[in-house]
Structure 1
Amino acid sequence: MTTNENGFTGKVAFVTGAASGIGRATALAFAREGASVVVADVSEPSNQETARLIEELGGQAIAVNCDVTQTEDVKAALDKTIEAFGRLDFAFNNAGIEPKQAAPVAEYDEEEWNRIIDIDLRGVFLCMKHEIPLILKQGRGAIVNTSSGAGVIGIKGSPAYTAAKHGVIGLTKAAALDYASQNIRVNAVCPGYIDTPMMGRFTGGTDKGRAKVISEEPVGRMGTPEEIAAAVLWLCSDATAFVIGHALVIDGGQTVQ
């Protein structure tokens, strides 16, 4: 059953960080609902695999190499979107990275700070900057940005990631107000611990690491990429036509106080 009153058929979605995890799951979800999908990532082989999986479903997709910290990369990826499909209706700005290691603010490495802020926050800004003019041409559309549970609470030893993900929510709210009257809805999702390759790196890929993460989830498990994908499509659907500038926390109760 489609989540969109008018359907996603004939519409075009642009997904960053699409090579794996939440990005891949969301790209596949858009395709299942009938949208053509542009999958963007710096990991070319895995990104090509996402496009192949979409085509295997009978969907239409192109894979584009895109470093979201580079304006020219973002512009080129969106130019290819228009060349291939002639329009842009939805964008899921999901590309992001996790910290390499924990450290308190006074000991935090400046290069690591810059790396995380550049990809996780500035990358979202650059994508929206170049997506919005294209969506405006359609007269309506939706953008969803990936924040995190770290966007609504503080994370000890993770100042850059926490700041970046808080920043994504602030950026989302500002953009939502800028374009609400022009029929572009901008919202964010805030995933908790989701069972993805990124989470595998975070836990060290060990049973002990996974168990520690799961112990922090009130529901007793990690979330799935497909659960986040379902929320993204819902936020792009007509069912949420009155949802503007919202940060939807999907974390199994982890941040509930």
Structure 2
Amino acid sequence: MTLLALKLILAHFIGDFVLQPGKWVEDKLQKKGRSKYLYFHVGVHLLLLLLFLQFQHLGAVALIVISHYLIDLGKLSLTNPKNYRWLFVVDQVLHLLVLAAILYWIEPFQIPFSDLFQEKHLLLITFLVFVTYVSGIIMRMLLAPYIDEIAKDDESGEGGSLKNAGTYIGMLERLFVFGFILMQQWAAIGLLIAAKSVFRFGDLNKGKNRKLTEYVLIGTLLSFGLAILSGMGYAYLVGNL
């Protein structure tokens, strides 16, 4: 089953990402179902599937190719500047679901959903939710008194940032720290702190705002501290299950 799954997924990745030039994508977005590149794209998937499956499971190949065409056609018909990101995700999920269904048809398998509710898995999910979302809200509450003060002092007009960028950066850095602790890679945490300091140094030095520097330092220490405590707590609890 694993070999067949890898063949199907690899064929999909190569066809959808490696062998689909930007020119094809732009033409499909403009002409929708009238674009010749839509059919070129489907043809590439057909050839890849035949190659990877060595001309076996022809019925499955036909179903995958037809479904790929219909899914792409539907995505192109619905795409607009506001929803193209979400439609891309939906498009890929649908393609992968089709591949999973074909895989189950050829080589039936079972997904042990009951294992998800085992104690060790629930513990991991709980800590991941805490490290990403709960920790972020805790930090926001603790740092709230300083946010308005920082905003008042920022008179340069250069203090803008991408929407929700800080939230996502915080989530990612805490996930990295959490993972490094589970892998016992403490040195990597130091490297991550150093890397963040380097990226932040230019902004802080240019702004010459001591309050902003202190705010960033407090936020960084809080973020890393919560992630470290979470990683150590999870490792301890898992070791005692």
The answer to whether the superposition gives a TM-score over 0.5 is no
Q: Which TM-score band (shorter chain)? A: under 0.3
Which of the two has greater strand per residue?
Answer: 1
Which of the two has greater helix per residue?
Answer: 2
Q: Which one has a bigger Cα radius of gyration?
A: 2
TM-score by length of 2: 0.23
